[in-house]
Amino acid sequence: MKQGEISKVSICGCGWLGLPLAKHLVQQGMETWGSKQTAEQALELAEYGIHGVALSLPLSLEQPVLPSPLASFLDTDLLVINVPPGRYAGAVEEWGVIVKRLSATAKQAGCRKVIFISTTAVYGDCKGTIDEWTDPRSNTLSGKAHLAIEQYLRAEWGDEVVILRLAGLIGPNRHPVRYLSGRQGIENGKDKVNLIHQEDCIAAISQIVARWPHYPIMHLAAPQHPSREAYYRQMAQMAGLPLPEFADSVERNSKVIDAAKTCGWLSLCIRHADLLSEKPEI
């Protein structure tokens, strides 16, 4: 393997995004490892050509020698950390400990590079057009926790980590219109939407794997930003769902995530750019 070349990727979290990413990397000829929470789930990954490992987080600090499969999983050219915090009380605080422990254990096991899947929620209170140089202003517990982990990983890994902040995720069996359909009096209907399709996330990560970038922080959002009211009413109509009703509101200087720099750095063309034309995959 040439210096800096990535030939083995381990994906921590083979769920809605991680599993199709792993399948894609296998198709690209990459040695691909993936984690699931149980041994039975891990074994099922083999049918896709993925080396499955059962990984229960947080990793124990009382385990001086890692089990062989887990050691092989973490001794990798690249670890993709794709582990979102849970939704129960105390989950966000626990998640911070989990990711830090995972990072430290991976480095000790021989991992060479990391991609951390973060969120554009770190921009919190920011207004107007947001590019990759905009300073975050997190205003939620999750946003603050993600930002803290980003800073921790950059301090620990230096040039060997890429932070990829994703806007709202859409794609197969995942679309916010399911939760807004039929609701009444929804606030802030004039705010702009910031969304990105699963397929575009996978394409971006694949480009990072193929050519490690010089830019440590990137973000992704489709270039079209209709209002929430226009977008979700259109999506409900296309899906044959009851239309959501929005309360009267004024147009605010809401966030617009501009990912043009990231797309340029990665030579990436957003495939799902015209949000209003695509039927939600629910």
- Higher pLDDT: 219 or 59? It is 219
Partners of 5 in the β-ladder: none
- Between 57 and 7, whose confidence is greater? 7
Mean pLDDT of 92-96: 91
Tokens of 5: 């070349």
Q: Identify which of 13, 4, 101 has the alpha carbon closest to the alpha carbon of residue 50.
A: 13
Instruction: State the Rg of the chain over Cα.
Output: 19
Beta partners for residue 192, in sequence order: 227
Phi, psi of 3 (to 5 degrees): -55, 125
Q: Is 70 exceeded by the pLDDT of residue 182?
A: yes
Distance CA 118, CA 153 (A): 12
Q: How many Å separate Cα 242 from the centre of its chain?
A: 29
Q: Which strand (E) or helix (H) includes residue 22?
A: helix 18-27
**Residues, the chain:** 282
Whole-prediction pTM: 0.94
- The DSSP 8-state label assigned to residue 28 in this structure reads T
- pLDDT per residue as tens digits for the range 117-155: 999 999 998 999 999 999 999 999 999 999 999 999 999
State how far the Cα of 237 lies from the Cα of 94, in Å rounded to an integer.
40
- Whether the predicted pLDDT of 99 surpasses 70: yes
Specify whether the CB–CB gap between 81 and 117 falls below 8 A. yes
DSSP letter for 171, please: B
What pLDDT is attached to residue 1? Answer: 38
174 secondary structure, DSSP code: B
DSSP string, 67-111: -HHHHHHHSSSEEEE-----SSTTHHHHHHHHHHHHHHHHHHHT-
* pLDDT confidence of residue 63: 56
- DSSP β-ladder status, 78-81 and 8-12: parallel
Average pLDDT over residues 38-49: 96
Token pair 């430290």 is found at 104
Q: What is the pLDDT of residue 177?
A: 97
DSSP line for 185-213: SBS-TTSBP-EEEHHHHHHHHHHHHHS--
